[in-house]
Amino acid sequence: MKYEIIGRFIELHEGLIEVSESQAKRRMQSLAPVGGGIYRIDNPVQFKVGEVIGLNYNPPKSLVEFMLPLDEISDAKIEAVEEVTESVNNAIEELPKPATIEIKVKQKHKR
């Protein structure tokens, strides 16, 4: 599962992690490539707020409050859009119906 770091930073000490190439390049002293964007943590490694990492295990309990699962973000956004859509549709239904206006046009006759 992918997580966005929402605390100042987190530090991981072991396991496999999925990070972008640029994230890995900055941390090559701590990470060893396994393949497919997956790296083994060989030395403690830190990630700062706003970074996204992938873990195939539940994060340590001490770090959970600093990591937001990305699928929760997606679910929250979907729910918010659905709520707004429903509110807008209800507001449209409550609008007064437009009145029918009859317009008579006089035509000038050419001689």
Q: Does residue 37 surpass a pLDDT of 80?
A: yes
Q: Domain for residue 80, yes or no?
A: no
Residues 37/70, Cβ–Cβ less than 8 Å: no
What pLDDT does 53 receive? 95
Residues 30/44, Cβ–Cβ less than 8 Å: yes
Identify the domain containing residue 57 by its residue range: 2-69
What pLDDT does 75 receive? 60
Q: Is 19 or 110 the better-scoring residue by pLDDT?
A: 19
Q: Domain for residue 92, yes or no?
A: no
Dist. CA 1–CA 12, nearest whole Å: 15
Phi, psi of 32 (to 5 degrees): -120, 125
Percent of the chain predicted with pLDDT > 70: 89
Count up the domains in the chain and report the number: 1
Q: Domain for residue 19, yes or no?
A: yes
Q: Domain for residue 65, yes or no?
A: yes
**Per-residue model confidence as pLDDT tens digits over 70-108:** 876 566 666 766 777 778 778 878 888 777 777 777 777
Q: Say what the pTM is.
A: 0.62
Q: Domain for residue 99, yes or no?
A: no
What six digits make up the tokens of 94?
A: 């409550």
Dist. CA 60–CA 14, nearest whole Å: 11
Q: Does residue 44 surpass a pLDDT of 90?
A: yes
